[in-house]
């Protein structure tokens, strides 16, 4: 090959190389780092999940807990929309169930007692004479085993914990897994599973406080809420269900059409000062994923749609939150977030006509909740 031909060949080769499309960087969907250590020396992990839309979820093995969830507004700007802390020590010091897996029985059990197959079990009373959210040493206080997964839907983390027979008074060794998946469809999917070696009761939920303006960016009273629920379970002064299931029509609990959370504030009992109510979902059937709720924040355009296989949802407007210093030094106050706790009804073990929460050996408890995000 003469010199001119060689130069032409090299030039063409360089041009082809320069015109080729560079490979896109591989999306790292999961990442695990140490988050700190508990007083008894257990290492706590922090897992980051990312999806193809740029959203980010961070979770920790302490309490199988969601600690950050960054989703875009209508301009594409990300904000963290769940309340919490920047580091592990405030979680260890005690907090109002920010984002954790709650149980063995989320919500309340009257008198801290229930009966299964003729045997009465006494639980730890940590809400006056009642039992709430699994007791003072419930699932939210445990360090769970951690396994990351990369699926076709998106990155995931699976937490596992064995709750021993007798924990907080509950019967049976309970093996639990909670799997969080941040999908490329911009959904945070939570799948629960559990088995037991003795008849027991179970009711699991995630207790995240959502603020679609961003954590610490004021109250949620202007968020528009729609619930796929035409009925609710009224409660006594201790928020223990009376056993009735009533229509929301004509009450401040009617969110069948979208309405700002604070729109009917003056209709609520003064002693309650907000929402802390269990709603009965319209189309529920065992194992069926049904629409639950929609939450919309007008100034950012962020929208969250909730689906669940649970029969109810507890709406809690952070009534008791006051002066809690959270992420970036911002202070969380009453109504600074709203919880949408998908669940079985409070005190179901003592209300035989409510959907059953009994789990027996040889069967598997399964539950799914999906929080989907968009902006308009």
Q: What was the pLDDT predicted at 28?
A: 87
Is residue 17 in some structural domain? Answer: no
What pLDDT shows up at residue 11?
43
pLDDT in tens, 262-273: 999 889 987 788
Q: What is the pLDDT of residue 25?
A: 63
Q: Phi, psi at residue 191, to the nearest 5°?
A: -115, 125
pTM of the model: 0.92
Tell me how far apart the alpha carbons of residues 103 and 124 are, in angstroms, rounded to a whole number.
13
In this predicted model, which residue has the larger pLDDT, 13 or 127? 127
Q: What mean pLDDT is reported for the chain?
A: 93
Distances from the Cα of 198 to the Cαs of 61, 173, 202, 359, in angstroms?
26, 7, 12, 8
Encode 159-173: b = buried (16+ Cβ within 10 Å), e = exposed.
Answer: bbbebeeebbbbbbb
The pLDDT tens digits for 201-236 are 999 999 999 999 999 999 999 999 999 999 999 999
Residue 8 included in any domain: no
160 is catalytic: no
Residue 44 lies in a domain: yes
CATH number at residue 188: 2.70.98.10
How many angstroms separate the CA atoms of 221 and 376, rounded? 19
Is 79 among the domain residues? Answer: yes
Residue 4 lies in a domain: no
Of 161, 207, 223, 344, the active-site residue reads: 207
Tell whether 13 is covered by a domain. Answer: no
Which pLDDT value is given to residue 271?
A: 78
Reported confidence tier of residue 6, pLDDT bands at 50, 70, 90: very low
320-361: pLDDT as tens digits: 999 999 999 999 999 999 999 999 999 999 999 999 999 999
Q: Which three-class secondary structure state does DSSP give residue 328?
A: helix
- Decide if 207 is catalytic: yes
**pLDDT one-digit tens code per residue, 30-57:** 999 999 999 999 999 999 999 999 999 9
Q: Range of 39's domain?
A: 30-375
Burial class (CB in 10 A: 0-12, 13-18, 19+), 236: exposed
Per-residue pLDDT tens for 111-155?
999 999 999 999 999 999 999 999 999 999 999 999 999 999 999
Count of domains for the chain: 1
CA separation for the pair 209, 331 (Å, rounded): 14
User: Looking at the domain assignment, is residue 23 inside a domain?
Assistant: no
* Residue 20 in this model has a pLDDT that exceeds 50: no
Could you tell me if residue 6 is inside a domain?
A: no
Mean pLDDT computed over 2-27: 47
């Amino acid at each position: 090959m003469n010199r001119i031909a060689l130069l032409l060949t090299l030039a063409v080769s360089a041009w082809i190389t320069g015109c080729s499309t560079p490979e896109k960087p591989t999306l790292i969907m999961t990442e695990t780092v140490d988050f700190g250590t508990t007083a008894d020396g257990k290492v706590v992990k922090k897992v980051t999940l990312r999806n193809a839309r740029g959203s980010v979820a961070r979770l920790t093995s302490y309490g199988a807990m969601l600690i950050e969830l960054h989703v875009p507004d209508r301009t594409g700007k990300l904000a963290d929309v769940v309340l919490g802390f920047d580091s592990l020590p405030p979680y260890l010091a005690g907090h109002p169930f920010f984002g954790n897996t709650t149980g063995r029985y989320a919500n309340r059990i009257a008198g801290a007692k229930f009966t299964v197959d003729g045997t009465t079990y006494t639980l730890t009373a940590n809400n006056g004479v009642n039992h709430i959210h699994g007791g003072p040493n419930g699932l939210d206080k445990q360090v769970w085993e951690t396994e990351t997964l990369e699926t076709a839907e998106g990155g995931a983390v699976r937490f596992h914990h064995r709750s021993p027979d007798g924990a907080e008074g509950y019967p049976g060794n309970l093996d639990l897994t909670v799997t969080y998946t941040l999908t490329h469809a911009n959904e945070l999917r939570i799948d629960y599973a559990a088995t037991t070696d003795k008849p027991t009761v179970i009711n699991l939920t995630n207790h995240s406080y959502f603020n679609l303006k961003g954590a610490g960016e004021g109250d949620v009273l202007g968020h528009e809420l729609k619930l796929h629920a035409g009925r609710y379970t009224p409660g006594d002064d201790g928020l223990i269900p009376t056993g009735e299931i009533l229509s929301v029509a004509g009450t401040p609990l009617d969110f069948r059409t979208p309405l700002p959370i604070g729109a009917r504030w003056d209709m609520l009992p003064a002693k309650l000062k907000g929402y802390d109510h269990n709603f009965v979902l319209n189309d529920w059937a065992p194992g069926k994923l049904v629409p639950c709720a929609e939450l919309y924040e007008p100034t950012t355009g962020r929208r969250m749609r909730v689906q669940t296989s649970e029969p109810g949802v507890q709406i809690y407007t952070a009534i008791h939150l006051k002066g809690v210093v959270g992420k970036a030094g911002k202070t969380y106050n009453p109504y600074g977030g709203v919880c949408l706790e998908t669940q079985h009804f409070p005190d179901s073990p003592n209300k035989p006509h409510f959907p059953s929460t009994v789990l027996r050996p040889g069967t598997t408890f399964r539950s799914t909740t999906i929080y989907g995000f968009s902006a308009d």
